[in-house]
Copies of this chain bind each other. A is one copy, B any other.
Amino acid sequence: MLKLTRKVEYALIALRHMQDKAPELVSSTKEIATQYNIPLEILAKTLQHLAKENIIEPINGPRGGYRLKAQLGNINLVEFFERVEGPLGLSDCFYDSNCLQIDYCNIRTPIQRINANMINMFRSMTVQDVTS
């Protein structure tokens, strides 16, 4: 409950790894997977996803890899989580009404308040706060 996914963690590890280098230098999937002991194929998918989101820039071919593309200080954590994992919320019912309790639920409104608090908290931090 209330956990980050591995995908998000792997993404953050990779972004911090790139951030720690001079901006023009390239990091390959294999390099990152090896250094942090992350399964290669999963990390590959994650980085492809980040590239599609224009957060990193892919460089094809031998000696290729990825470089940072976005300003990490401009991406708050809500935006980042949603770009990596989709909609954010303590309960599904805030963005998907397929819930058996929804018609009678007596905690929907209070949970929504708490959810708003959580969202505000994550929105007050950027990816850069994690990568530096």
- Residues of chain A whose beta carbon lies under 8 Å from any beta carbon of chain B: 1-5, 8-9, 12-13, 16-17, 20, 35-38, 77, 81, 85, 88-92, 100-101, 103-107, 110-111, 113-114, 117-118, 121-122, 125, 129-132
Contacts and interface: CB of A to CB of B under 8 A. Distances in A.
Contact of A37 (B4, B85, B100, B129): B100
Copies per complex of this chain: 2
Contact of A4 (B2, B5, B81): B2
Contact of A1 (B8, B17, B36): B8
Most buried by B among A5, A16, A81, A101: A101
Nearest to A20: B106
A13 B107 contact: yes
Contacts of A20: 106
B104 A37 contact: yes
B17 A106 contact: yes
Contacts of A3: 1-2, 89-92
Given A110-B129, A117-B121, A90 B4 contact: yes
Contacts of A9: 91, 101, 107, 111
